[in-house]
């Protein structure tokens, strides 16, 4: 099978869906003539024209708010926010408009909106470096995708564009250049169905996007010590595939969540609560989390590295859990 | 056929007896020379004994027996082998269960157990109050319940718990050291900044060793400065120890073992690291041999990771010094009339007063402290300088000078876009030397700036494309920059591109 | 000059809106309805005049003050009472109450709960209309208070850049809850801000339905012709408090404001023009009351909403 990068996969998904459905439009700062600051939307303006691919002002509120308005009128807008942190700039529009317009109007509308959110700690400073999935997972009415591979990025984005609900689509910037096998053709993935990336008996590690690659590295190291780590990639956080996770924890009795968001009330906290409520009797070890300790994400590399969960830290916790 | 006796060997100078843990060959079996035949436990570790010659082995003692050094364990071949062993039926072999401690009794009488352990105990009708665990947190897990379910009933409250042979021997020898050697402990606080930096270098992969290796080397070098301390008090005289050996506590299946790193003062940090790795691996397999055991000049005990601040250790029998390293913690200290935060750790150094007086010991303590604070002669002389952070130069004058292969490259970085791409290139060039000498041959690479935050490195050959591609991947460029670098084959010249 | 039958229609609808709102306030005082209505008394004439300059299928995002927008478009009275009362038969299944009445066949597209939140939504609606249904326009009503949200700037700027078919109608009644515009707003006229977006900005008197209709008709013509959005400021009169039981002790003109009631002025005018006489207005009022009675009875007879409706309508 051919291999393409995560960024190319997103570009392909956008192109294919725009080709398939004339109601799909794409806008955001720099997405048109420049092809996106991360080069993801390159070539789409030339292919689909300025009426469907256009730049926006630096106006996050209207970028997302207009997405809601266009969606309730029948378009399928895809909005790029450049940095996932900006969901807080457009907080009203994401959490109150996209998440609730349908609900507060008694289901009169559909909101088929996709907001693309490049995320991740890349030394861009406290307001351009976070993985704020937890805010989205916390909020009703929003779907949340966190693809970890090029194939998943393409299939989940195609699905997100076709869904009639607002999707916050997190693209981890450290993955844009990662290449892997992506099938040709029209492949989608359902939301709410995670995948076991690696099987093991001793500890279940939940991780996605950049932390998934670290978890996989840790699992390789631990294998040499006889510790078998099972790795669960949820693919989407809303909805969250608790069924597959619980099946895994039934086997291992131990669970560690590794996330790039803040620790306090983070995704891991929710997963821990799910296990307490739904899998209590299967837990044989304390539930554990590795996340950003509750400080902002700094700019320079040593400080960033200091707070990002490391392969070594993952190994250490897994060893404790396997002991 | 050559006949041979197998007797209890002496692992370490202070060993008096060993326990036969296991026969690795059946009684009456034919064994080859060099084949492991028995497993012996001393107070420090478990060893395997090999057959000195080939022949039929006849066991002479039963599993679990305490056998004095030099006494007969088995015979191979010859006439002695004819007699069958009388296995004393009464001396019940102690079960080789992992050293299990009862779950710590809590004041409120509650048993700590995982939810799964509770479900399992309920399902198979086990009373958790009788289940023991070896876990440090004292929480009973499902495996403890399973083991309990399979084992004979645990002694009820009030009955004695027999110790394993290893623990029995350890207890005896510690008591001996404690009563014979007059101990004194000096505590000295150390600025751990250098150690923390070394730890960071280890984590970053710039230093291939562990913190313990650094401690071992520092302790050994210090002992080399004080040859008079490197002695054992025996028979009212100081017996100089043959070399500078550092004991290192290692976790094994059967408990803590203390193998030694011999000639530690003469080994480089790399060599020490290799040696401790070997010892730790052996420990994990339960195969630490006699040659790796024995009396040390000093033993290191590092329980810092458990948060222990200081200790009053007990010397290993016959050893003059034991260094206990506490947790490294950030503390407020006064420096030049200013309060600053500094990582600090406490050394608790225990001495045998028969070997060393307090003043000399204080000099030793101080020297070790200074060495750990500077780490000058501890870390390798030609320590790799930490790669300059590519971010460092980029804001200087708006231009970034990069060296790509053998060519200097000057990138103007007046706007944010070029700046980002320059930072990405800098990250790449920092990574290139790590890919080995072949990657240095990079003459002729051209850089083409694309739209957006992208740049393409045009290479001369597919091999070069592959090498640069690997470097781009390894450089983790996203850490420094949002730019995207690609390696591509340069189009044929004259192609109009 | 508005045609006479159009003017009479505006008057009749404003009269109904006034009676209907008065009934809602009465039912609130009686405890049948929760105290969640923001009365629109004084602003009905301009709201209805503005909408009468548009087509019925031109989508409306309305403001929170009053129900005249819905009356203008013919939304069921009983459905609105049911929304407020939490009975079956409403438009939003108990999710939005009276604040989020929705009536798509009549072009009522709802309201943002956060003031000014709809401004940005309307931009996207304009984008969709232009692409899918050229010729339709979206109209967004908001108050002087909401015009101080950042969304106002973002929305008008981008709508202007894209020349979207949007009409922005600011009903400036001088009050953001208890805060007068003199305290909150740097410019005399909200419409002056249009210059900042390169679009027309006009000020009209909310008591002058002719002026309101003309301004909206002109904005609609521009929008339908692809010339972009317009900003219309209606100088409006808030007769009552921010909410029904607001004591308004922050307001010096609370007692005298009734003399400036645009509906009373329109009533005098339709009589002067001979379109209606006092007796006809009495009869019209009685008919409205009877219509409202029927609606109230229907709602009182309807079952309460199933509480499990809390779990519906979230995802499509």
**What pLDDT shows up at residue B278?**
86
Decide if A167 touches C, using CB distance below 8 A: no
**What pLDDT shows up at residue C244?**
79
How far is it, in rounded angstroms, from Cα C191 to Cα C174? 14
Quick check: C252 pLDDT over 70? yes
Contact A165 C316 (CB under 8 A): yes
**Topology of A195-322 in CATH?**
Rossmann fold (3.40.50)
- Mean pLDDT of the region B393-400: 38
- Mean pLDDT of the region B465-478: 80
Confidence band (pLDDT; 50, 70, 90) for C235? very high
Quick check: C309 pLDDT over 90? yes
User: Across all residues in chain B, what is the average pLDDT?
Assistant: 76
Is C311 domain-assigned?
Answer: no
CATH hierarchy code of domain A3-181: 3.40.50.970
Contact C127 A57 (CB under 8 A): no
Decide if C119 touches A, using CB distance below 8 A: yes
CB B82 within 8 A of CB B323: no
Comparing B187-201, B403-417, B418-432, the range with the smallest average pLDDT is B403-417
From C28, C90, C26, C80, select the one nearest C304 (Cα to Cα): C90
- Fold equal for A3-181 and A195-322: yes
- Mean pLDDT of the region B315-332: 89
Quick check: C272 pLDDT over 90? yes
Confidence band (pLDDT; 50, 70, 90) for B5? confident
Q: Which helix (H) or strand (E) holds A267?
A: helix A267-278
Comparing B168-172, B259-263, B394-398, C263-267, the range with the smallest average pLDDT is B394-398
- Interface size between A and C, measured as CB pairs under 8 A: 146
Decide which of C161 and A1 is more confident. Answer: C161
How far is it, in rounded angstroms, from Cα B458 to Cα C284? 84
Confidence band (pLDDT; 50, 70, 90) for C303? very high
Q: Could you report the per-residue pLDDT of A215-232, keeping only the tens digit for each?
A: 999 999 999 999 999 999
Decide if A285 touches B, using CB distance below 8 A: yes
CATH hierarchy code of domain B101-150: 4.10.320
Quick check: B86 pLDDT over 60? no
Tell me what percent of chain B is helix, strand and coil, each rounded to the nearest 5: 30, 25, 40
What's the gap between Cα A276 and its chain centre?
A: 24
Comparing A194-203, B96-105, B345-354, C182-191, the range with the smallest average pLDDT is B96-105
**What pLDDT shows up at residue B251?**
65
Contact B482 A173 (CB under 8 A): yes
Q: Which CATH number does the domain B182-374 belong to among 3.40.250.10, 3.40.50.1820, 1.20.120.1200, 3.30.559.10?
A: 3.30.559.10
Q: Where are the beta strands (DSSP E) in B355-417?
A: 399-404, 407-412
**What pLDDT shows up at residue B257?**
72
Decide which of B239 and A110 is more confident. Answer: A110
Residue of chain B minimizing CA distance to A225? B284
Decide which of B481 and C155 is more confident. Answer: C155
Q: Considering the domain delimited by B4-82, tell me its CATH architecture.
A: Beta Barrel (2.40)
Comparing A21-25, B330-334, B419-423, C137-141, the range with the smallest average pLDDT is B419-423
B236: left (phi over 0), alpha (psi -120 to 50) or beta: left
- Mean pLDDT of the region B112-124: 88
Task: Assess: ipTM above 0.85.
Answer: yes
Is C316 domain-assigned?
Answer: no
Taking each helix axis from N to C end, the angle separating B358-374 and B211-225, rounded to the nearest 10 degrees, works out to 140
Is C309 domain-assigned?
Answer: no
User: Across all residues in chain C, what is the average pLDDT?
Assistant: 95
Break chain B into its structural domains and give their ranges. Answer: 4-82, 101-150, 182-374, 390-489
Side-chain-side CA neighbours of C239 within 13 Å: the count stands at 20
Tally of domains in chain C:
1
**Nearest-CA distance from C280 to chain A in Å?**
38
Which DSSP symbol is given to B113?
B
Break chain A into its structural domains and give their ranges. Answer: 3-181, 195-322
Comparing B75-79, B102-106, B311-315, C17-21, the range with the smallest average pLDDT is B102-106
How far is it, in rounded angstroms, from Cα B364 to Cα C260? 97
Confidence band (pLDDT; 50, 70, 90) for B388? very low
Q: Could you report the per-residue pLDDT of B244-272, keeping only the tens digit for each?
A: 999 987 766 666 778 889 889 888 888 99
Residue of chain B minimizing CA distance to A34? B452
**What pLDDT shows up at residue B392?**
29
Decide which of A311 and B136 is more confident. Answer: A311
**What pLDDT shows up at residue B137?**
80
Decide which of B47 and C271 is more confident. Answer: C271
Q: Could you report the per-residue pLDDT of A113-171, keeping only the tens digit for each?
A: 999 999 998 888 899 999 999 999 999 999 999 999 999 999 999 999 999 999 999 99
Quick check: C199 pLDDT over 90? yes
**Nearest-CA distance from A160 to chain C in Å?**
13
Is A138 in the active site? no
Q: Could you report the per-residue pLDDT of A51-107, keeping only the tens digit for each?
A: 999 999 999 999 999 999 999 999 999 999 999 999 999 999 999 999 999 999 999
CATH of the domain at C31: 3.40.50.970
Domain hosting C106: range is 4-300
- Mean pLDDT of the region B441-458: 73
User: Across all residues in chain A, what is the average pLDDT?
Assistant: 96
């Amino acid at each position: 099978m051919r291999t393409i990068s995560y960024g190319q996969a997103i570009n392909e998904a956008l192109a294919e869906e725009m080709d398939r459905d004339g109601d799909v439009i794409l806008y955001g700062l720099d997405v048109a003539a420049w092809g996106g600051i991360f080069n993801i939307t390159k070539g789409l303006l030339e292919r689909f024209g300025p009426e469907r691919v256009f730049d926006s002002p630096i106006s996050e509120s209207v970028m997302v708010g207009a997405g809601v308005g266009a969606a309730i009128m029948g378009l399928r807008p895809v909005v790029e926010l450049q940095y996932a942190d900006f969901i807080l700039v457009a907080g009203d529009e994401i959490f109150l408009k996209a998440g609730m317009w349908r609900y507060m109007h008694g289901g009169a509308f559909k909101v088929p909106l996709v907001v693309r959110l490049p995320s991740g700690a890349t030394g861009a400073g406290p307001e351009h470096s976070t993985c704020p999935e937890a805010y989205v997972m916390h909020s009703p009415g929003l779907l949340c995708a966190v693809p970890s591979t090029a194939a998943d990025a393409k299939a989940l984005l195609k699905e997100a564009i076709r869904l009639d609900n607002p999707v916050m689509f997190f693209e981890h910037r450290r993955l844009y250049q990662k290449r892997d096998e992506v099938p040709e053709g029209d492949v989608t993935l359902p939301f709410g169905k995670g995948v076991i990336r690696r099987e093991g008996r001793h500890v279940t590690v939940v991780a996605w996007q950049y932390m998934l690659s670290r978890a996989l590295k840790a699992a390789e190291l631990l294998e040499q010590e006889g510790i078998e780590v099972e790795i669960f990639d949820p693919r989407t956080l809303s909805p969250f595939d608790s069924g597959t996770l619980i099946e895994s924890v039934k086997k291992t009795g131990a669970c560690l969540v590794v996330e790039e968001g803040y620790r306090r009330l983070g995704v891991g906290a929710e997963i821990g609560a799910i296990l307490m409520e739904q899998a209590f009797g299967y837990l044989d070890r304390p539930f554990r989390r590795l996340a950003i300790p509750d400080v902002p994400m700094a700019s320079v590399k040593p400080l960033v590295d200091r707070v990002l969960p490391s392969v070594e830290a993952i190994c250490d916790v897994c060893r404790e859990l396997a002991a | 056929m050559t006949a041979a006796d197998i007797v209890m060997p002496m692992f370490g100078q202070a060993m008096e007896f060993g326990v036969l843990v296991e026969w690795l060959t059946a009684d009456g079996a034919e064994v080859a020379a060099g084949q492991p035949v028995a497993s012996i436990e001393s107070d420090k570790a478990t060893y395997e004994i090999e057959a000195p010659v080939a022949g039929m082995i006849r066991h002479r003692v039963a599993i679990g027996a305490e056998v004095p050094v030099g006494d007969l364990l088995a015979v191979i071949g010859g006439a002695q082998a004819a007699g069958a062993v009388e296995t004393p039926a009464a001396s019940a072999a102690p079960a080789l269960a992992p050293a299990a401690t009862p779950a710590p009794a809590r004041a409120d009488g509650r048993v700590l157990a995982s939810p799964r352990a509770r479900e399992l105990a309920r399902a198979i009708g086990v009373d958790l109050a009788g289940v023991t665990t070896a876990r440090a947190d004292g929480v009973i897990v499902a495996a403890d319940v399973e083991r309990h379910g399979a084992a004979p009933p645990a002694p009820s409250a009030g009955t004695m718990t027999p110790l394993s042979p290893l623990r029995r021997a350890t207890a005896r020898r510690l008591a001996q050291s404690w009563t014979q050697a007059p101990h004194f402990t000096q505590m000295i606080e150390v600025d751990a900044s250098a150690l923390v930096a070394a730890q960071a270098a280890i984590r970053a992969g710039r230093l291939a060793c562990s913190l313990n290796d650094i401690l071992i080397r520092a302790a050994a070098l210090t002992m080399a400065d004080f040859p008079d301390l490197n002695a054992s008090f025996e028979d009212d005289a100081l017996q100089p120890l043959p070399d500078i050996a550092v004991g290192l506590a290692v976790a094994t299946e059967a408990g803590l073992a203390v193998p030694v790193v011999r000639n530690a003062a003469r080994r480089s940090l790399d060599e020490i690291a290799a040696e401790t790795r070997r010892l730790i691996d052996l420990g994990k397999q339960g195969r630490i041999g006699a040659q790796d055991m024995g009396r040390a000049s000093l033993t290191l005990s590092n329980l810092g990771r458990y948060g222990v601040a200081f200790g009053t250790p007990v010397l290993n029998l016959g050893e003059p010094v034991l260094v206990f390293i506490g947790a490294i913690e950030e503390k407020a200290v006064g420096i030049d009339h200013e309060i600053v935060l500094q990582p600090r750790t406490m050394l608790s150094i225990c001495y045998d007063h028969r070997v060393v007086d307090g003043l000399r010991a204080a000099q030793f303590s101080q020297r070790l402290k200074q060495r750990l604070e500077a780490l000058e002669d501890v870390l390798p002389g030609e320590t790799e300088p930490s790669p300059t952070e590519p971010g460092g130069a980029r804001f200087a004058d708006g231009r970034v000078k990069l060296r790509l292969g053998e060519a200097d490259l000057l990138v103007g970085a007046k706007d944010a876009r070029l700046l980002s791409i320059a930072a990405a290139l800098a990250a790449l060039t920092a990574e290139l030397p790590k890919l080995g000498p072949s990657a240095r041959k990079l003459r002729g690479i051209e850089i083409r700036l694309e739209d957006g935050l992208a740049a393409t490195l045009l290479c001369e050959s597919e091999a070069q494309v592959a090498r640069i591609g690997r470097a781009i991947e390894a450089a983790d460029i996203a850490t420094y920059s949002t730019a995207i670098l690609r390696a591509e084959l340069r189009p044929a010249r004259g192609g109009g591109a | 000059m508005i045609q006479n039958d159009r003017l009479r229609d505006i008057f009749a609808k404003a009269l109904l809106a006034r009676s209907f709102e008065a009934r809602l306030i009465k039912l609130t005082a009686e405890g049948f309805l929760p105290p969640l209505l923001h009365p629109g008394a004084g602003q009905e004439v301009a709201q209805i005049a503005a909408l009468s300059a548009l087509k019925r299928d031109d989508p409306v995002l309305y403001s929170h003050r009053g129900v005249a927008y819905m009356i203008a478009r013919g939304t069921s009275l009983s459905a609105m009472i049911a929304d407020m009362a939490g009975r079956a038969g409403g438009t939003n299944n108990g999710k939005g109450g009276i604040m989020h009445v929705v009536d798509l066949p009549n072009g009522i597209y709802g309201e943002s709960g956060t003031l000014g939140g709809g401004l940005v939504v309307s931009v996207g609606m304009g984008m969709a209309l232009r692409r899918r249904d050229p010729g339709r326009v979206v109209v967004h009503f908001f108050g002087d208070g909401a015009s101080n949200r950042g969304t106002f700037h973002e929305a008008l700027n981008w709508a202007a850049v894209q020349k979207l078919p949007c009409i922005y109608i600011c009903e400036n009644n001088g009050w953001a809850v208890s805060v007068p515009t003199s305290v909150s707003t740097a410019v005399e006229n909200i419409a002056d801000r249009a210059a900042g977006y390169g679009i027309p900005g006009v000020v009209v008197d909310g008591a002058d339905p002719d002026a309101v209709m003309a301004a909206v008709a002109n904005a609609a013509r521009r929008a339908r012709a692809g010339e972009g959005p317009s900003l219309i400021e209606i100088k409006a009169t808030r007769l009552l408090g921010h909410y029904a039981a607001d004591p308004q002790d922050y307001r010096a003109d609370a007692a005298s404001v009734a003399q400036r009631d645009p509906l009373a002025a329109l009533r005098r005018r339709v009589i002067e023009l001979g379109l209606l006489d006092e007796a006809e207005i009495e009869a019209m009022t009685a008919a409205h009351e009877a219509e409202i009675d029927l609606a109230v009875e229907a709602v009182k007879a309807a079952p309460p909403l199933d509480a499990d409706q809390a779990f519906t309508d979230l995802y499509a």
